[in-house]
Structure 1
Amino acid sequence: MHKIKLAWLGLALGSTVSVAGECVPPEPPTVPDGGSSSKEQMLAGQKAVKTFLVTNLEYMACLAPQITAAQAELEPGSEEASATVKKLEERYNEAVSAEESLADQFDKEIQAYRTANP
């Protein structure tokens, strides 16, 4: 009976690790056109951008321990481990770039909104 409990515990822990290991990047929202959008549409866009930023930070926080673990497993000459680290770092950098791009795009639309609505 004790062995069965240990087996179930192992399965449960293994399942948790595999689920936790799946980091899914969030989809960036569509930024409203500042030149033609209403104040309410711009505020809704701002809320969507803020939600994306929070979700993207959670995604990057999910990737960070995976990168650290992959780096710890690096052995000299191990191409597979090196490729894993590189892939994870690329995903992390893409998330940072997505944040910066979205922030720049939203800032431009805010300026367009202010120009159209003095």
Structure 2
Amino acid sequence: MNKIRLALLGLALGSTVSVAGECVPPEPPTVPNGDSSSMEQMLAGQKTVKTFQAANLEYMACLEPQITAAQTELESGSKEASAAVKELEERYNEAVSVEEGLAEKFNAAIRAYKAANPR
């Protein structure tokens, strides 16, 4: 019985890793320079940021079922699942951090644009 359980666990973890491998994080766009960009360039930059955010949301949604499956295995006493949970959670948290960093950069660019182009 234990051999069957270990084989199923190996298959589940192998599937987790391979499916997680199919979850590819999007590349963050380059933020326009607010000091020297035109309004059109800033609007185009805003569009690329929104496109990235949507793609990043899809990436995180791709990771979520894999995290849940690995956590379930970990809770059932699987020591092997610990590494999978850690890796998947790190990838998810990195995606959140990248998006937050991009938002901070774009907001700084907006402030710079407004300072360079007062009404």
Shorter-chain-normalised TM-score: which range? 0.7 to 0.9
2:112 corresponds to which residue? 112
Deviation at 1:21, TM superposition (A): 6.2
Indicate the residue corresponding to 2:77 in structure 1. Answer: 76
Stretches of 4+ aligned residues off by more than 6 angstroms: none
Q: Scaled by the length of structure 2, what TM-score is found?
A: 0.79
- How far, CA to CA, are the matches of 1:19 and 1:30 in structure 2? 29
Aligned to 2:51: 51
> In the alignment, does 2:63 pair up with 1:63?
yes
> Is the 1:31–1:105 Cα contact (8 Å) retained in structure 2?
yes
2:22 is paired with a residue whose SS is: coil
Cα separation, 1, equivalents of 2:20 and 2:77: 28
Provide closer, same or farther for how the CA distance between residues 20 and 98 of structure 1 changes in structure 2, counting only shifts above 3 A: closer
1:12-58 residue CA offsets vs partner (Å, 9 max, x unmatched): xxxxxx66861000000000000000011000000000000000000
User: Match of 1:99, as an amino acid?
Assistant: E
User: Relative to structure 1, is the Cα distance of residues 77 and 68 closer, same or farther in structure 2, using a 3 angstrom cutoff?
Assistant: closer
Partner of residue 86, structure 1: 86
Please report the TM-score for the alignment, with normalisation by the length of structure 1: 0.80
Q: Unaligned stretches of 5+ in structure 2?
A: 1-17
* Aligned match of 2:34: 34
* CA distance in structure 2 between the partners assigned to 1:19 and 1:91 by the alignment: 13
Three-state SS of the structure 2 residue aligned to 1:53 is helix
Aligned length: 100
